[in-house]
Amino acid sequence: MSIIGFGTLCIKKEHRPKFENLMTLLITEMRKKKGCVQCYWSKSTETEGEYLMYSEFDNEENFRNYRTSELMDLINKEIAPLESGASFKYFRASAL
């Protein structure tokens, strides 16, 4: 059973270049994680400063390993302080 995650993040204008560089690094490293089927980030077409992060892992164990990895430290220490608001949701998908 796959795990699908998505989140929206609002980033203040002065932090966007740093955020985009960090997200590029994060996504590159996430794609190397065992079980990562796909992941990406993109800018909103409707709201300036809003971004989407999407990820899919092949099973709960690999997703759990990602959530306890050093990449979460990067998110918590480097990306979270740049946010002015964020929301993340995770779902089990039995068929895609």
Asked if 58 contacts 25 with a C-beta cutoff of 8 angstroms, the reply is no
Q: In the chain, what are the domain boundaries?
A: 2-91
What pLDDT digit, counting tens, does each position of 47-96 carry?
999 999 999 999 999 999 999 999 888 888 888 888 888 999 999 997 65
8 A C-beta contact, residue 79 and residue 18: no
* In the chain, % of residues over pLDDT 70: 98
Class of domain 2-91: alpha beta
pLDDT in tens, 16-38: 999 999 999 999 999 999 999 99
Sheet containing 2-11: which strands, arranged edge to edge?
Answer: 36-43, 50-57, 2-11, 83-93
**Torsion, CA 17, CA 20, CA 22, CA 27, rounded to 10:** -170
From residue 86, give the alpha-carbon distance in Å to each of 10, 34, 49, 57.
6, 26, 12, 21
Confidence (pLDDT) at 96? 54
